[in-house]
Amino acid sequence: MVLNGMAYLFIGIGSSGTAILNSVLEYKEIRRDKPIVIRLRSDKEWNKSRISREKGADFAFVISELDDGDEVSRAAAMLSECGIKTLFVGVLPAMRRQKSENLINAFYTLEKLKEYINSFIIVDNQRIAHLPNFERYYPRYNRYIASCIVDILAGVRDKTAAMNIDRLLSIISFSDEPGYAALSRASELTKGLAGYILPFLRHKPLDLRTLIRVSMEKLSIAEAPLSSERGITFLRVPEYYVRGERVDKELVEEFMLMYTKECYLAVCTTKRNIAAITNLFVYRFEQLKRLRELRGLAHEAI
């Protein structure tokens, strides 16, 4: 179970949670961690004993639907009973072509989970709802979210990145209310095609400004304000840049402070010729129109 010194559970709930989890598991670096994988599908196979046996886990990564809160509430209660820290990703239904019952349930699920969880990473399907037949884009959206999760885990795993699970969880939650976080990511090749064929060609200089700007266009919450309470940036680059001190951390911080009041940076390496920036922007409930809208629907229905 412990391979890179990090033992964790991966729990996917509902067809969205399971699909995103499967996309994450396509990455070899994740499979190498040998996480314990539990999929709770709509057939409601409940695997209580399995969670309770995993007391040695450093943390659990739960990716779940929110439309139907029973399963996820039980999982969260069980994890909290076992004292396992939980990093939670919840899929918010789009407004379009969804029964209002599902939207209202999503609000109540978030409320119910507050008892056990104090930070939510939100994957908002409304973000892709403008596309024709947007359901067809789920696989691509899932892969995008998976790439964010993989890079966050890389930052948590890397001992030199100054980020670990406790620090991450505390940054994304507030003392007086849960934090609601959006994901965003942008990447670029650090070598052109010629660099692949001729491996001795050097990596290009990093264009961190462009990476940050592009990533800001891809927040996982619809209509999220461009200014958040806190932000964590995970920067993943080939070792060449880290070794030669070619990463301008101050520039990243300066740029991030345009979008967030407090910012944290974790730099780690990748074996691929890719530079990627993954951000977690943390908001309070009232700052997010999408959450206020769901609450409005829930209150109207009473």
Positions that interact with Mg ion (CB under 5 A): 14, 65, 67-68
> Least CB distance from residue 65 to ligand GTP, whole Å?
3
93 lies in the site for ligand GTP, by CB under 6 A: yes
Cα distance between residue 34 and residue 168, in whole Å: 21
Give the span between the Cα atoms of 48 and 145, in whole angstroms: 27
Give the contact letters, 173-202, x = binds to ligand GTP (CB under 6 A), - = no: ------------------------------
CA 260 – CA 230 distance, rounded (Å): 5
Tell me how far apart the terminal alpha carbons of the chain are, to the nearest angstrom: 47
Nearer Cβ to Mg ion (43/245): 43
- The residue count for binding ligand GTP (CB under 6 A) is 17
Beta bridge partner(s), residue 289: none
Minimum Å gap between C-beta 182 and Mg ion is: 22
| 211 alpha carbon, distance to own chain's centre | 18
DSSP secondary structure letters along 195-230? HHHSTTSPPPPP-HHHHHHHHHTT-SSTT--S-EEE
Residue with tokens 């409005």: 296
The type of residue at 163 is: M
Residues of this chain, 31-60, that bind ligand GTP according to CB under 6 A: 42
Report if residue 22 touches ligand GTP, rule: CB under 6 A: no
Q: Of these, 141, 144, 180, 264, which contacts ligand GTP (CB under 6 A)?
A: 141
CB 189 within 8 A of CB 270: no
With CB under 6 A as the contact rule, the residue among 6, 9, 11, 19 that binds ligand GTP is: 19
> By CB under 6 A, is residue 14 in contact with ligand GTP?
yes
Task: Out of 125, 228, 260, 278, name the contact with ligand GTP by CB under 6 A.
Answer: 125
33, 65, 151, 158: which one contacts ligand GTP (CB under 6 A)?
65
Angle separating helix axes 289-300 and 100-113, nearest 10 degrees: 110
The separation between CA 98 and the C-alpha centre of its own chain, rounded to angstroms, equals 23
Cα separation, 148 vs 219, whole angstroms: 11
Over the window 219 to 258, marking each residue x when it contacts ligand GTP by CB under 6 A and - when it does not, the resulting string is ----------------------------------------
Task: Write out the residues near ligand GTP by the rule CB under 6 A.
Answer: 14-17, 19, 42, 65, 67-68, 91, 93, 98, 123, 125, 138, 141-142
